[in-house]
Amino acid sequence: MTAAAAALEAVSLSTTFRTRSGGVARAVDGVDLAVGAGEIVALVGESGCGKTTLARTLLGLERPSAGQVLYEGKPLRYDARSLKAYRRAVQLVLQDPTGSLNPRHTVYEAVAEGLRVHRHVGDEQAKVADALSRVGLRPSERYFLRYPHELSGGQRQRVVIAGALVLDPKILVADEPVSSLDASVRGEILELLLALRADLGLSVLVVTHDLGLAWNVADRIAVMYLGRIVESGPTERVLDDPQHPYTKALLSVVPEVKHLEPTVLAGEPPDPTWIPGGCRFHPRCPALASGEAEEAGVAGDCRGTGLPVLPAATEHVASCFLSSLRQGMLPD
Amino acid sequence: MPVLRLEDVSVTYRTAEGAVPAVRGVSLDLEAGTSLGVAGESGSGKSTLAATVLRLTPRSATVEGRVLLDGEDVLAMSFGRLRAVRWAEASIVFQGALHSLNPLHRVGRQIAEPVLLHDPSAGARRSVDGVVKELLTSVGLPTRLASSYPHQLSGGQKQRVMIAMALACRPRLIVADEPTTALDVMVQAQVLDLLTSLVRELGVGLVVISHDLSVLATTCDRVAVMYAGRVVEEGPAAAVLRSARHPYTRALAAAFPTIGDPAARFAPRGLPGDPPWPGDLPPGCPFHPRCPEAEDRCHTDDVRLRPAGDDQAAACIHVGDPSGVVR
Amino acid sequence: MSTATGAPVPRVRSAGQVRRLRRRAALGRFWSAYRRQRAGVVGLVVFALFLGLALAAPLLFSHDELEVTKATGQVLAPPSAGFPLGTDESGRSVLALVVWGARVSLLVGVAATVISMAIGTLVGVASGHFGGVTGGILERATDWFLVIPFLPLAIALATVLGSSLLNVIIVIGVTSWPGTARLVRAQTLAVESRPYLERARVLGGGHWHQMSRHVLPNVMPLVLANTTLTVAIAILSETTLSFLGLGDPFRVSWGTMLENAFAAGAISAGAWWYLLPPGIAVVIVVLAFTLIGRAMENVLDPGER
């Protein structure tokens, strides 16, 4: 995928934080990621893998310590005016719809907020009504004077999405958009995202831990572990035939998955202040532990040699010595 | 004799807006050494049901029916007997367990607490330390964690500590309310593995409450699906998941797609509307406003559980034998 | 949660109208909740009474009654038909003094509170919203002003600036704003951590937008409740300062009345009608404001949300 075609791109992006004890947490440690126009990409990983930090850096809420964020090929600038203009193009939908809405503002005010911030000229009421209709809250006038606490979880999330849509963004970043909603309500929100892509050509980056969600809505999927993307590619390819041992393990423990033997990894992901040497997954890797890597002759690399940043390619790629060997590509 | 039997249990909350029926006539059985999953969303009454097992519902709630723990009715017990029963015979792992630990006390002391409450002499005999170590090992945690504070543990570790606490007095029954919500999928798998192995090894009865039907189907032997305070489907876990007889169960199962199934690509399945608020139930079948298979009679005729195949029951007029009302 | 019902919705024309309607509805809700707080209603009635008296002072007693040279009564005379609360050491009607004194006490109380609230809210919101160096500086400034002792500062300022009503107002304002600032800062920090603040940032809202549309409306209820309590403190402070002779000697306030009473030896003379009324007036008004403040806190309690 060339830079010109990608709507939003991360190039060698790193974001670090100082921890209270003085260490450095490398939350995002070298990521290449691209979201094309009209594409839905799922960014998948467990908590602590850095996916939320990556999303926030792409949105300009965090400054990267290295690398760049490219919007339509141009690097993001961090002065107040550029950021404000950027916000019209890239919007965020947060996880908790209840917390995302100011309880003292009506639905109308919540949706119109973006327009007011950007001093929109023109019929504000019409735009608000249009946005509410688009997200399925019809007739929109009925919702204008409602308060968030009068709405259900699904409706609140729709209001948040309407608030994002009202600025006519090109890209939507959705951080766990359905995880705090009831199961039977998830479908309509996901359908909404698909409809927005179809009707408006919106690109969506969905950040989630839920592989089933990715299967439902994503064109491509990127799996993140400890600050790096370890596997990415078209959703069917990655989930039908995962190459990286981490993806395999993650997929295998999902109850709905039948085609893999459950591999429950021991322990929990280490925190980003202490990233293992060599392949960062090697301490927990079932392939290394079972001797598979030893047999293939890559065990030394797994433990000692670092892996390069996975490029933002359209094909199915994985950052693993074992799988690279098997694919016939030489390890670095 | 089943270790737990609920007979026509109903729980109604008295609120400023009137009576709110959270649970309406639920009957369930659980045999020792087996596990039962209770699936439901907000407003289904599942958490209230869990609290009812140990009579932990608030005073403003009226409870009817019988809750038989090894044959004894919990609702009719004297308070002294209830205290003895709580934790020693049946224990609960609460929802939001991650916040249920007292941040000021060490983990070991909190696990020891129920042990000491039921057997104060254990503290003097110092055998309680041994019990704590044993419990930590049985949930897969290193024994040195006994001297840690809750904030030093991860989410998964805290959840395991809660399970250890639930096991402290060797109960016959454990009720786990949303034990894996807010946990990562890998940690969730670890916790579920732990629960299933405990059921096998210790022969406890386990009731797991969750909104995730597939989690229940992999962990439990039987599953009951609740909607608007009632059980709308019940049967062996695999059967309920794969050949659900009630439209709600089918919708719930479809909400979590089978990965690898091409039919689920770009086709998220959900229901219109929202789960009903228990104080505001529609007439007739409570599910009819959202049901894709609703007919005219569904608007007026309420439906109870009826047999729907081998050892399965569903509360839907489209199902089974109308004359054989199950419960 | 109930889904949207078919409740009739007024035909909305503009965002401004929406805002006005909403504000009216919110005030209505506030009032009906406040009405249920009996203590608060009592406080409000008492305050209205005193306010009425203060405003109507010229109508009830002519300004001449305050002139020492034009006093008509006997010196330190007990209550009688012509002088319901007796007279002071110059023969002036104590009742007239109390009613006119209400003006100054209330004026100083309110004015000082306005200053205190304005500074306190500004500093509190800013120090809570802006982290880093700016926030740190503001926080330290708040702490510094917090520990300044009230009386020594008042005496120092009175010595330097001279005793006048304005100086009294300034002194009280300057010493009482840190309390508000700390409260506001704590509330600001709580609001800042909520997701809708982040959403405001993502929508492109700058500092001004975030503070004015989200932080301030959530902080104001607490500030308002605190305001009424601050008025009570301000009135007490003014009374204290005037009693100590640091107030304006040419204006009658309840504090100066007490000062004069003491100086005139009212205690040994047994002139209770001179000592009690201003003292009781202060107590009643302070109590009224306290009750109002407590009632407002109960109604606006953030725990409701």
pLDDT tens-digit readout, C114-153: 999 999 999 999 998 987 888 889 989 999 888 888 788 8
Low-confidence ranges of chain A (pLDDT < 50): 1-4, 330-332
Is C195 close to A151, i.e. CB distance below 8 A? no
Q: What is the pLDDT of residue A98?
A: 82
For chain B, what is the mean pLDDT?
85
C1 contacts in chain B (CB < 8 Å): 274, 277
Cβ neighbours of residue B135 under 8 Å, at least 6 residues apart?
B111, B164, B165, B167, B168
C2 to B277: CB separation less than 8 angstroms, yes or no: yes
Longest distance between any two alpha carbons in chain A, whole Å: 68
| Distance separating alpha carbons of residues C277 and C80, to the nearest angstrom | 15
pLDDT at residue B39, as a whole number: 92
Cβ separation of C1 and B274 shorter than 8 Å?
Answer: yes
Dist CA C6 CA C12 (whole Å): 16
Q: What is the largest CA-CA distance in chain B?
A: 68
* β A66-71/B18-30 pair status: unpaired
pLDDT in the model for residue B322: 60
- pLDDT tens digits for chain C (305 residues)? 333 444 444 455 565 676 677 778 778 878 888 888 888 899 999 999 999 988 888 888 877 777 777 777 778 888 887 788 888 888 888 888 888 888 888 888 889 999 999 999 999 999 989 878 888 899 899 998 888 887 888 788 777 877 788 888 888 888 888 888 998 999 899 888 888 888 888 888 888 888 888 898 888 888 888 888 888 888 888 888 888 888 888 888 888 888 888 888 888 888 888 888 888 999 999 899 888 888 887 777 644 43
Residue C14, pLDDT score: 61
Under the banding of pLDDT at 50, 70 and 90, the label for residue B42 is confident
Q: How far is B204 from chain A (nearest CA, A)?
A: 23
Chain C neighbours (≥3 Cβ pairs under 8 A) are A, B
Omega cis (within 30) before A139: yes
- Which residues have C-beta within 8 Å of that of residue B219, sequence separation ≥ 6? B35, B37, B192, B195, B196, B208
| B79-85 LR contacts (CB < 8 Å, sep 24+) | B82/B54, B82/B55, B84/B118, B85/B54
Q: What is the pLDDT of residue B323?
A: 62
Predicted confidence (pLDDT) at residue B189 exceeds the cutoff of 80: yes
Give the closest of B156, B252, B268 to A216, CB-based: B268
Going by pLDDT thresholds of 50, 70 and 90, the confidence category of residue B324 is low
- Classify burial at A185, counting beta carbons within 10 Å of its beta carbon; exposed 0-12, middle 13-18, buried 19 or more: buried
Is B266:A217 a contact under the CB 8 Å cutoff? yes
Q: Which two tokens stand for residue A159?
A: 């209001």
User: Residues B178-208, buried b or exposed e (16+ Cβ, 10 A)?
Assistant: bbbbbbbbbbbbbbbbbbbebbeeeebbbbb
Q: Is-contact B82 B30, C-beta < 8 A? A: no
Asked if A84 reaches chain C (Cβ–Cβ under 8 Å), the answer is yes
Q: Which of C242, C251, C241, C226 lies closest to C113, judged by CA?
A: C226
A112–C15 C-beta distance less than 8 A: yes
Residue located via tokens 């996975």? A310
- The neighbours of chain A, by the rule of 3 or more Cβ pairs under 8 Å, are B, C
Answer yes or no: do C198 and A83 touch at CB < 8 A: no
**3 state SS of B236:** strand
Q: Name the pLDDT band for B124 (thresholds 50, 70, 90).
A: low
Helix (H, G, I), strand (E, B) or coil at A37: coil
Alpha-carbon span A188 to A191, nearest angstrom = 5
Dihedral Cα A118, A121, A122, A124, nearest 10 deg = 30
**Which chain B residues have a beta carbon less than 8 Å from that of A249?**
186
| Identity of residue B17 | E
Whether A267 contacts A241, CB under 8 Å: no
Burial of B16 (0-12, 13-18, 19+ CB in 10 A): exposed
Q: What whole-number distance in Å separates Cα of residue C163 and Cα of residue C171?
A: 11
Average pLDDT over residues B132-161: 86
Write the DSSP assignment of C192-257 as a string of letters: HTSHHHHHHHHTT--HHHIIIIIIHHHHHHHHHHHHHHHHHHHHHHHHHHHHTT-S-TTS--HHHH
Cβ-based contacts of A184 with chain B (< 8 Å): 41, 248, 251-252, 255, 270-271, 275, 290
Dist CA B322 CA C30 (whole Å) = 54
| Tally of CA atoms within 13 A in the half-sphere of C125 that contains its CB | 21
Q: What pLDDT, on the 0 to 100 scale, is given for residue B35?
A: 92
Q: What is the pLDDT of residue A1?
A: 44
* Residue C215 near residue C133 (C-beta atoms within 8 A): no
Contacts of B256 in chain A (CB under 8 A): 183, 212, 255-256
CA angle B25, B29, B34 (to 5 degrees): 145
Would you say how long chain B is, in residues?
A: 327
| pLDDT at residue B183 greater than cutoff 80 | no
Angle between helix C94-129 and helix C38-60 axes, rounded to 10 deg:
130
Contact of B187 with B160, CB cutoff 8 Å: no
Q: Is B35 helix (H, G, I), strand (E, B) or coil?
A: strand
Rounded Cα gap, residues B159 and B167, in angstroms: 13
Test mutation, A179, A181, A215, A250, chain B, max B CBs within 10 A? A215
Q: Starting at the edge strand that comes first in sequence, how are the strands of the sheet with A40-44 ordered? A: A90-93, A171-175, A203-208, A40-44, A220-225, A228-234, A317-318
User: Residue with structure tokens 């107030």?
Assistant: C247
CB of A183 within 8 A of CB of B212?
yes
Q: Tell me the chain A residues in contact with residue B272 when contact means C-beta distances shorter than 8 Å.
A: 188
Q: Could you give the count of Cα atoms lying within 13 Å of B66 in the half-sphere of its Cβ? A: 10
